Amino acid sequence: MKKLHMNNSGLTRRRLLRSAASAGVVLAAPGLIRGAQAQAGDAIRLGAPFHRTGIGASYGRWYERTANAALKIINEGGGINGLPVEMIVEDDGTDPKRGVEVMEKFAAEHKVDAVFGHLFSHVVAATAPRAGELKMPYFLCSEAHTLASGAFNRYCFQPSITDVKSQVSSMAPWISSNLGKKVTLIYPDFNFGYDHRDNMTAAIKAQGGEIVADIAIPPTETSFTRYMPRIPFNTDVIYHVMVGPAVLTFVKELGEHLGRNRPEIFGFIDSLEAVDMEIPQLEFLEGTYFWEAMPRYAQETQSEADQAFRAAVGVDDRGASLDDPKDISTYAHMFSVWETLFAIKQAMEMADYRGPEQKIAMMEAMESISGFEEGAAFPQGDKIFNGKTHQSFGHQNISQVTEGKLKVVHRTSIEDTLYPDETDYTQMSF
Amino acid sequence: MDLAPYLLLAGLEGLVQASVLMLTALGLSLVFGVMRVVNVAHGEFFMAGALIAWACGAYIPGPPALGFIAGLLVAPLAVGALAWAADRTILQKIGYNPEGTIVSTIGMLYILQQGALLTFGPDARAVDAPFYYTIRTPWFGYSSYKLFTVAVAFALVAALWLLMRKSKVGLLMRATQFDRETALNFGIPVGKVYSAVFAIGAMMAAVAGVLVVPNQQAHYLMGTDPLLLSFVVVIVGGLGSIPGTIAAAVLIGLSDGLLSVFFSPTLAKIVSTLLVALVLIFKPEGLFTVKGRRA
């Protein structure tokens, strides 16, 4: 009945066709313009699905700045195999569904040579299978153990940042021998958090310790006081790793709740990434410990590579932006974008890569790499790359908050972070 | 932790939750009661209030308390003006048609959210509380600012109550709510009353945003949760009923605090949503509404 009325009330066929046609033009226009730009062979195009908005926005902003700085250096040095490198950024909203859509867009519309720079593990978990289906080389700057556990496919690599399993297993012995054996875990209630829970529980048990409570917090939570009473009084160490826009609130409320008689606290720097720690409410953190992949504060033993990296990205000695001292970087993670770009460069040069028809040669070259030397291209430190699990292994740092600054007190060897292979991607077909 | 301090902490958390919820839900309820408009953009007014409070804190030099007080004044005024303009230019033009207002307030939600994203960016902005003092009990510490939030919220609700009951503006609002046609016949400028009500409703949300932001940080997506919880409160309390809304806010806030401390926050959400379903089935006019009469 309603449809009949609509037809009578002036929506003629001609008018319908006209509006449909104009809508079609509007929808097609951006595709037309972009399509005209993409021509294979004149440049190497890398798709960068960064978390510009959503809960990962602060990471996304710094990943983008770091990638731009690295590309500037690569292009000034003649690009890759003489071809300039272009980066096409798409915002995935830190949303798994949009992560997949963006991956499809990179493959179908931008026709990029490879995709790199995804961080949040729930987005990666959704996007990686699609990358394999689209036969798109996909370089992760995430930390989840999912890749090395064999759950993804041969197109996925993590050449720079280490996975949670190796981070946790290398630090658990230090935690249980220096801080205590009764541990309370606080972690985000998704994939990345479960990696922490499962690996930490196993690692602490192996050290003869025990997990007295484990507290999972949804990543979109904004208020945390209500979770705090679940921390048992007999806790020796609180182990916390939180992500999302509310991390500062989390740390503040943890401090309010505990007061002076706090147990030892060991946190992943994720709980403080992009957060200025030199504020009065965070004074209770003095003397606590943090994991850092790359130390946010320039250390006395700072390498030349770290100095050059800070200058190129625009970050000062306390990890803040040179333009705005309140804009704190995600220093312990963002190096992975830089190093991943140089790893891609190395693999492409080994395969004399000129265009998508050499994708497989490039990925085989990547699998043949056994490690990276510390230096301008790898400022975080040297690495062992496992071509079978597609995962990198590197040094981990434990820093203590000393006079409001993070000071490295322990740096693991790479051997401490190794564990037996759980998969062999080279046995899979491309 | 022993039961008593556990209960105390849960009660405090619930009270803080209830007081903020009361402010946002009252705004929503007032707008529906008088105008019969379901304002889906209500949570975004809350978010706008929080972001303006951040801007005041960041750009006004001097102690944090100064910026906070400025935020407490500027945010509701700016958001109220915005809501007034939205009513004049959008809701009035579509004649307050029920379906039309829902769709257009959904549109406003997206415009405000994306506008905030474009101007303030995607980052969570921390705001300094006007004062820091942690109340120490033998078992846990508690932020005194949170208790201050409760006091301010109750004072504002009392002020709204007085406005509705004792002032001429309140009388005009109640008359319009009771019978729009008759109010028009008696020369009440219903159009102006509507704009004022829409503005006041938005201001309540904005103040709640300002109060919350030192605890939570301002963020362009922060409006969703308060909107959902406000709807829960308003449905349980009875749409348009002010005493019902207050009672429901305290009920939902406290049960949320207790359940989430003793069990899990997810269970608290399940229970409050279940309560909404039960109320809609068995007492759709709201738990605290006497049939046929609305305050």
Amino acid occupying residue B262: F
Residues 6+ apart with CB under 8 A from A403: A286
Is there a domain that residue A197 lies in?
yes
Cβ pair A256:B141 closer than 8 A = yes
Task: Give the integer Cα–Cα distance in Å for B295 and B281.
Answer: 23
Task: Give me the pLDDT at residue B239, please.
Answer: 77
Domain assignments of chain B as residue spans, ordered by start: 3-221
Write down the residue that tokens 């009353």 correspond to. Answer: B193
Report mean pLDDT in 10-residue bins for chain A, 430 residues: 43 61 54 49 93 91 97 96 96 95 96 96 95 97 93 96 94 93 93 91 92 88 85 92 86 87 91 88 90 95 95 96 93 96 97 94 97 96 96 96 94 95 94
- Please tell me the predicted confidence (pLDDT) of residue A87: 97
Q: Alpha carbon of A223 to those of A55, A271, A277, B13: distances in Å?
A: 15, 14, 19, 10
Given B132, B136, B140, which is nearest A228 (Cβ)?
B140
Q: Say if A335 falls within a structural domain.
A: no
Please enumerate residues of B whose Cβ is less than 8 A from a Cβ of A: 1, 6, 9-10, 13, 17, 117, 121-124, 126, 132, 134, 136, 140-143, 215-217, 219, 221-222, 225, 257, 260-261, 265-266
Q: Is residue A15 part of a domain?
A: yes
| Distance in angstroms (rounded) separating the CA atoms of residues B287 and B279 | 7
Per the CB < 8 A criterion, the answer to whether B42 and B205 are in contact is yes
pLDDT tens profile A19-32: 656 655 555 554 44
| Cα distances (Å, whole numbers) of residue B151 to A193, B41, B155, B280 | 37, 26, 6, 32
Cα–Cα–Cα angle for A242, A212, A147, nearest 5°? 45
ipTM above 0.90, yes or no: no
Given a cut of 70, the residues of chain B with pLDDT beneath it are 1, 290-295
CB contact under 8 A, A246 and B9: no
Calculate how close chain A gets to B193, using CA atoms only, in Å. 36
Q: State CA A190 to chain mean position distance.
A: 15
For residue A237, what are the β-bridge partners? A183, A264
| Single-letter amino acid code for the residue at A53 | T
Q: From CA A409, how far away is CA A413, in angstroms rounded?
A: 13
**Residue A363 Cα, gap to closest chain B Cα (Å):** 35
Chain B residues whose CB is inside 8 A of the A259 CB are 134, 136, 140-141
Side-chain half-sphere exposure of B230, counting CA atoms within 13 A: 34
pLDDT at A282: 86
Chain A residue with the nearest C-alpha to that of B121: A53
Say if CB B110 and CB B213 are below 8 A apart.
Answer: no
- Indicate which CATH number applies to the domain containing A189: 3.40.50.2300
In chain B, residues with a C-beta closer than 8 Å to the C-beta of A248 are 124, 126, 217
As beta bridge partners, residue A118 has A140
Query: Does the reported pTM lie above 0.90?
Result: no
Give domain status of residue A112, yes or no.
no
* Residues of chain B positioned with their CB less than 8 A from the CB of A225: 9, 13, 142
For residue range B38-77, list pLDDT tens digits in order: 999 999 999 999 999 999 998 998 888 999 999 999 999 9
Q: Is residue A377 part of a domain?
A: no
Integer Cα distance of B83 and B200 in angstroms: 8
Residues A396, A161 contacting (CB under 8 angstroms): no
In whole angstroms, what is the distance from residue A186 CA to residue A204 CA? Answer: 15
Q: Report residue B189 as tokens.
A: 């400028």
Contacts of A222 in chain B (CB under 8 A): 216-217, 222, 225
Name the residue range of residue A17's domain. 2-37
- pLDDT at residue A230, rounded to an integer: 86
How many structural domains compose chain A?
2
Nearest 5°: phi and psi at A342? Answer: -70, -30
Q: What is the model's pLDDT at position B195?
A: 95
CB contact under 8 A, A223 and B1: no
Report how far residue A302's alpha carbon sits from residue A166's, in angstroms, rounded to the nearest whole number: 24
Does the residue A129 lie in any domain? Answer: no
Q: Is the CB of residue A161 less than 8 Å from the CB of residue A141?
A: yes
DSSP A171-196: HHHHHHHHT-SEEEEEEESSHHHHHH
Domain co-membership, A171 together with A28: no
